[in-house]
Structure 1
Amino acid sequence: MTMACPGCGTIEEVRKHRLCVECRRPIAIQQLLADDSGEIRPELHPLAEYLVTHHGSAISLERWLYKSRCAVVLRELADGTLPLTADAIMTRAHAGQSVAFLLSLLIRSGVLPDFDIQAARFEHWFQRWLPTVPHPEDRLLLRRYCTWELLPSGRSLRGRPATAVRSGSTYQKVRAALKRCAALLQQIRASGETLTTYPQRSLDGFLTGSPSQRDALAPFTRWLRRHRLSRLRVEFRSHRLEGRDYAADHRWTMARAFITRDDMDPVTRVSGLLVLFYGLHLTRIAAITRAQVDTTARPMTLTVGTEPIELPEVLAEAMVQLLDGNRSDTWLFPGRNPGRPITPGPLSRRLRQEGLLAGSARVTALMDLTRQLHPRIVSDLLGITASSAAAWARLSGGEWSDYPALRSTST
């Protein structure tokens, strides 16, 4: 039955004598966060205020409050069953996405102090996984390798601020690498050998048909040799640059599609154009902040390196559209977790749905840029190292040996 909401007077499909979803919002939050006495504990007041004022859709909030795993954990925090600590929440919530979302929500609302969620999740996993490695010496070796080689800046993971340089995918790779290393150590012990006596031929047989295992063990064996713990060697795979044969005309076909499709979602359109025009990696794109975009400059600029990039009109217009619909005051591409940027995975899926393969398009764009511009200029504009820009220039066949002389002549 269509009736006016008794709370705000809005006319919509509501049940008789019931409030609309927007007016039910504070009631639902109160029911979720109140303890047995009907009061919200003081530590959770900032969260209640945040959910009332900052959560976008009242319908999605109501659905989340009643059906998500996070809501179950919040109920336990509210009634005191679960301590209000990151460790307790990570232990209780289990699922990675639920943990990341809930911790982001608590940090964003001011309930928990700011910290690097991905680093904390990795440390939480590592402290529980390491005891499952059977032999104490192997556990000690893996701890040393992780602390001093894989994550040399991770000795103070808990205290690191949220502006960490490592993404969730990086920690996933570290987890996988440690498991591969542990499997090798277990194989060595099962064969009755040690790191110093295990034959190279046995290691080669262990690696047969497993490229991912080779990628994980190559740096591990190099680290062992450097510390004189073993002579075993796993050669790094030679990586052929993806997309070297990616047709340039296809790249421009995709560029024309992204330029002309003004009805495309701004997130997809801007990220696609940044890949097609400048060869930016999706990890870099996802981490762009609003402060890096200067909307007052004419033309509009984006700074990802030491020098700002002047954006073409079509990209500037798409950028304005993206900023106008942006709910974050920090990130250009806000993610699903409060206060956090989008991750590269969703961006990649968006682009694939439009037919754009980001990795291949990126390679073609960088080859084109280094063919037209000196590697040093590309380095300053895109924020890549000078050696990397020079490598792209060599791959593209560009010849810039006369560039210093040309600059001295022109100045």
Structure 2
Amino acid sequence: MACPGCGSIEEIRKHHLCVECRRPVAIQQLLADDAGEIRADLHPLADYLLTHHSNAVSLERWLHKSKCALVLRELADGTLPLAAEAIIARAQSGQSVAFLLSLLVRSGVLPELDVEGTRFNHWLNGWLNDIDHPEDRLILRRYCAWELLRSARVSSLTSGFQRQRAFLKYCAALLEEIRSQQETLATFPQRRLDAYLTDSPSQRDALAPFTRWLRRHRLSNLRVEFRVNRLEGRGYAADHRWQMARKFLSDADMDPKTRAAGLLVLLYGIQLTRIVTITRAQVDTSSRPVTLTVGAEPIELPEILGDAIVELVDAAKRHPEGWLFPGRNPGRHLTPGPLSRRLRTEGLLAGSARTTALIELTRQLHPRIVSDLLGITTASAASWSRLAGGEWSDYPTLRSTHA
């Protein structure tokens, strides 16, 4: 039987409209109040769902089964205020909150806001309220605002502030340990801190900057040393790196997102946090080879990687933001976690592969060239070069001599 709305014979249920014709009906049912009217401030959302959600089947499933739909019903009937804080408190599930806020911002219902930052601030306020001692709450809030967030804002935008949450919990645990021994930050002995530390690298990574901040503000003389050379033991053997590269170059059935991300890590040592933020504006497909710009100078890509990037550029034209790796949340790019899991499924550990790639690159190229191509600081490139055993101190002189 044909759809009575459009005549289509696809996705038809007996005596019912097709899924495309059901779309406006489902949206009306979701967003209308008891009088059957959609409130004026939700009209942009209704228009967005009608025109920007390309898959009608997944939209219908989402409208009927997701937790977000329940929250939207409460927004529609006025029982829930149309405000980010109220939505975060009501939705509870982190993924649902991120998706719903992104949807409301992208459709124009809510003003522009930092979705992940807003979620983190909501979590922080609730978490700090559970800290027993007021002085500890004050120290943790000051450290978070003045140091932790300021020094790691860019990476937080792609990671959902997960690292910052974990670091704060380690800091709170240390403060609780000090109080349990009837001591203060000023009186707690260094030997007891040394005994308290475990072999956890994450604990040391969290407490080293925290104790440095405490010393800087004259709150304590305690010290946790930063780990020396965090990269030791994390790299692949060079031959394994090239073995993985051959797999990503030759596997004809590999998804272009997986292929592109894997090769960008294996060949150039680009972090996943940066890969997920690449847009089509950074790619030049007007000639061959295809070039990608992530630093000051464009990188000429090998043909197979270039072809995968071109596929992603073509797909990105459907999204106004132009992300090559679009995420599930409207207007947002993919986060590193899902991409890392994709690569791990193919046998690639992104962190280890990146370490080996940067060591090999800085062994072959001057740190300044690596910095220009990959968009990392010259100091960072120089550190990688030292780790690789390189010595380029005479490079500027040689370069100027042959110029």
TM-score norm. by structure 1 comes to 0.93
Q: Distance in 2 between matches of 1:184 and 1:399?
A: 41
Structure 2 unaligned spans of 5+:
none
Stretch of structure 1 that moved more, 303-312 or 164-173: 164-173
Who is 2:320 aligned against? 329
Greater shift, 325-334 or 280-289, is seen at 325-334
> Closer, same or farther in 2 for the Cα pair 1:276/1:214, shift >3 Å?
closer
**Mean CA deviation greater in 219-228 or 393-402:** 393-402
The one-character-per-residue Cα deviations of 1:188-241 (angstroms, maximum 9, x if unpaired) are: 222222111122222223223544333222211111111111112222222441
Distance in 2 (alpha carbons) for counterparts of 1:79 and 1:342: 32
- Deviation track 1:293-314 (CA, whole Å, cap 9, x = no partner) reads 1222443211111111122222
Residue in 1 aligned with 2:28?
30
Report whether the alignment pairs 1:354 with 2:346: yes
Query: Residue 123 of structure 1 aligns with which residue?
Result: 121
Cα distance between partner residues in 1 of 2:263 and 2:199 = 38
Q: Aligned partner of 1:313: which letter?
A: E
TM superposition shift of 1:96: 0.6
Write out per-residue CA displacement over residues 278-329 of structure 1, whole angstroms, 9 at most, x where no aligned residue: 1101111011112111222443211111111122222211111122233323
Corresponding residue SS for 1:11? coil
Structure 1 gaps of 5+ residues are: 158-163
**2:357 aligned with 1:365:** yes
Residue pair 2:158, 2:336 contacting (<8 A) in 1 also:
no
- Please state how far the C-alpha of 1:165 moved relative to its aligned partner: 5.6
Q: Structure 1 stretch 54-63 or stretch 400-409: which is displaced more? A: 400-409
Q: After superposition, where does 1:92-171 map in structure 2 within 5 Å?
A: 92-152=90-150, 166-169=156-159, 171=161
Amino acid at match of 2:148: L
Structure 1 stretches of 4+ moved >3 Å: 208-211, 242-245
Name the SS for the 2:295 alignment partner. coil
Distance 1:165 1:215 in 2: 16
**Is it true that 1:408 corresponds to 2:400 in the alignment?**
yes
The one-letter amino acid paired with 2:319 is: S
Distance 1:4 1:364, change over 3 A: same
Aligned residues: 401
3-state DSSP of counterpart to 1:151 = helix
CA distance in 1, matches of 2:240, 2:259: 17
Q: What is the identity, as a one-letter code, of the residue corresponding to 2:324? A: L
Partner of 1:276: 266
Are 2:270 and 2:354, in contact at CA under 8 Å, matched by a contact in 1? yes
Q: C-alpha displacement at 1:168, in angstroms? A: 4.9
Query: Which amino acid in 1 is paired with 2:296?
Result: T
Query: Bigger CA drift: 289-298 or 215-224?
Result: 289-298
TM-score (norm 2): 0.94
Given the alignment, which residue of 217, 230, 241 partners 2:207?
217
Q: Is the 8 A contact 1:242 1:359 kept in 2?
A: no
Q: CA deviation at 1:242?
A: 5.3
Show the counterpart of 1:51.
49
Q: AA paired with 1:73?
A: V
Q: How has the CA–CA distance of structure 1 residues 375 and 240 changed in structure 2, closer, same or farther, with 3 Å as cutoff?
A: same
Q: Please say if residues 248 and 262 of structure 2, whose CA atoms lie closer than 8 Å, have aligned partners that are also in contact.
A: yes
RMSD over aligned CA atoms reads: 1.9
Tell me if 1:320 matches 2:330.
Answer: no
Give the aligned partner of residue 161 of structure 1. Answer: none
Question: Who is 2:68 aligned against?
Answer: 70
**CA gap 1:73/1:236 in 2 versus in 1, 3 angstroms:** same
Counterpart for residue 160 of structure 1? none
Structure 2 residue corresponding to 1:40, chosen from 38, 41, 47 = 38
Maintained 8 Å contact 2:234/2:351? no
Identity %: 73
